Amino acid sequence: MRLGGEWTRSIRPIEDRSAIEIIDQTLLPWRVCWIRLAGLEEAAEAISTMRVRGAPLIGAVGAFGLALSLRADPSDDALDEAAERLIATRPTAVNLAWAVARVVRAVRNLPRGDRFEAAWAEASAIADEDALCCEAIGHHGLPLIAGISQRKGGSPVNILTHCNAGWLATVDWGTATAPIYRAHDAGIPVHVWVDETRPRNQGALLTAFELAGHGVPHTVVADNAGGHLMRRGEVDLVLVGTDRVARNGDVANKIGTYLKALAAADNGVPFWVALPHSTIDWSLASGELIPIEERSPAEVTELAGLAEDGGVRRVRVASPGSRAANPAFDITPARLVSGLITERGRCPASEAGLLSLYPDKA
């Protein structure tokens, strides 16, 4: 990922293994502030308050959080409690439970004295693999964009994306953004419609920040603009990430994704979903079984923004006294998904499609 002209990752393990550093995403794009997470509670707080967010990134931070907790207390009880505490912070993105379970498996049968080292090594492997997966997603997604570009005779490919499925949501590259960065770097003209993504505005704040940093032309639009743009033929491709894919290809992603898929289907716009294998929940037969996180109503009734004096302020944007609801994700049925882009290639959004790439899961 490119940050201030330099390549870095969204998570930086400290060399003496006393902590990790993450960018506090609640301060972006106004301030790039790296903060240290040195233990279980700091990691859990960073995930639940969304200082770090995005399915693959919370998986990697959860894994390091568990390792750091074992540094303080490597006992069996502490291991189980820490794993439970971390998994409970955000229930929809399966990457978190997947990564924590992977660290637990790596250390469970080891003597206490060896657990921290092994957990740290496993967390590092999870982070490294995520970066490689996302890079490969870019490789496999590129032909989609290149094909559209060719059909359009080289005029810019208009891609609509929702939420932030970029490097800020992963360890590097991003999922949905990886093919976009690749295309841009390959000289294919692209333009990205960035859904603002209420209530937390991950699109307007984070995706726009990322694309600007990489020099990718983009335009932020209100969430409700997508259908209109698609009807006018101004969207060639919808490309989003996901927090959990069920065995049948149903996709959980940021609230509002389903509406974009409906509009895309009605207008014949391809709707593709990019994900690493860690986002597939092989244990769930369909998306109806995916738990949907319900977040604080304050995220709907209030907004944070940059005031004219340079300070970051919260303001109320809903009528005082009204109740608000805040389901954070929705399910897009597989029938509305043109296909999935994974680190192993592209496939139809179906059990057969997924198994064609991951035959070991049959």
Of 201, 242, 301, 332, the residue at the interface with ligand MRU (CB under 6 A) is 242
Of 89, 202, 301, 350, the residue at the interface with ligand MRU (CB under 6 A) is 202
Closer to ligand MRU at the Cβ: 120 or 193? 193
Q: How far is the CB of 323 from ligand MRU (least distance, A)?
A: 21
Closer to ligand MRU at the Cβ: 174 or 353? 174
Closer to ligand MRU at the Cβ: 140 or 254? 254
38 to 57: interface string for ligand MRU, x by CB under 6 A: ---------------xxxx-
- Does position 243 interact with ligand MRU (CB under 6 A)? The reply is yes
Q: Which of 257, 263, 258 is nearest to 232 (CA)?
A: 263
Q: How far is the CB of 286 from ligand MRU (least distance, A)?
A: 19
Q: How far is the CB of 56 from ligand MRU (least distance, A)?
A: 6
Q: Which stretch binds ligand MRU (CB under 6 A): 216-224, 240-248, 316-324, 332-340?
A: 240-248
Is 76 part of the annotated catalytic residue set?
Answer: no
- Does position 163 interact with ligand MRU (CB under 6 A)? The reply is yes
Distance CA 25, CA 164 (A): 11
- Does position 103 interact with ligand MRU (CB under 6 A)? The reply is no
Closer to ligand MRU at the Cβ: 10 or 248? 10
Number of residues that bind ligand MRU (CB under 6 A): 18
244 to 273: interface string for ligand MRU, x by CB under 6 A: ---------xx-------------------
Residue matched to tokens 């870019």 = 138
- Does position 141 interact with ligand MRU (CB under 6 A)? The reply is no
- Does position 93 interact with ligand MRU (CB under 6 A)? The reply is yes
3-state secondary structure the chain: CEECCEECCCEEECCCCCCEEEECHHHCCCCCCEEEECCHHHHHHHHHCCCCCCHHHHHHHHHHHHHHHHHHCCCHHHHHHHHHHHHHHCCCCHHHHHHHHHHHHHHCCCCHHHHHHHHHHHHHHHHHHHHHHHHHHHHHHHHHHHHHHHHCCCCCEEEEECCCCCHHHCCCCCCCHHHHHHHHHCCCCEEEEEECCCCCCHHHHHHHHHHHHHCCCEEEECHHHHHHHHHCCCCCEEEECCCEEECCCCEEEECCHHHHHHHHHHCCCCEEEECCHHHEECCCCCHHHCCCCECCCHHHHEEEEECCCCCEEEEECCCCCCCCCCECEEEECHHHCCEEEECCEEECCCHHHHHHHCHHHC
Closer to ligand MRU at the Cβ: 35 or 121? 35
Calculated CA dihedral for residues 201, 204, 206, 211, nearest 10 degrees? 160
Catalytic residue (one of 243, 250, 281, 330): 243
Residue matched to tokens 């859904």 = 195
Closer to ligand MRU at the Cβ: 89 or 149? 89
Q: Which stretch binds ligand MRU (CB under 6 A): 75-83, 140-148, 236-244, 350-358?
A: 236-244
Q: Which 343-362 positions form the footprint of ligand MRU (CB under 6 A)?
A: none
For residues 361 and 282, is the Cβ–Cβ distance under 8 A?
yes
Of 61, 169, 265, 334, the residue at the interface with ligand MRU (CB under 6 A) is 169
Of 158, 175, 201, 278, the residue at the interface with ligand MRU (CB under 6 A) is 175
Positions that interact with ligand MRU (CB under 6 A): 53-56, 93, 163, 165, 169-170, 174-175, 202, 241-243, 253-254, 328
Annotated active-site positions, please? 243
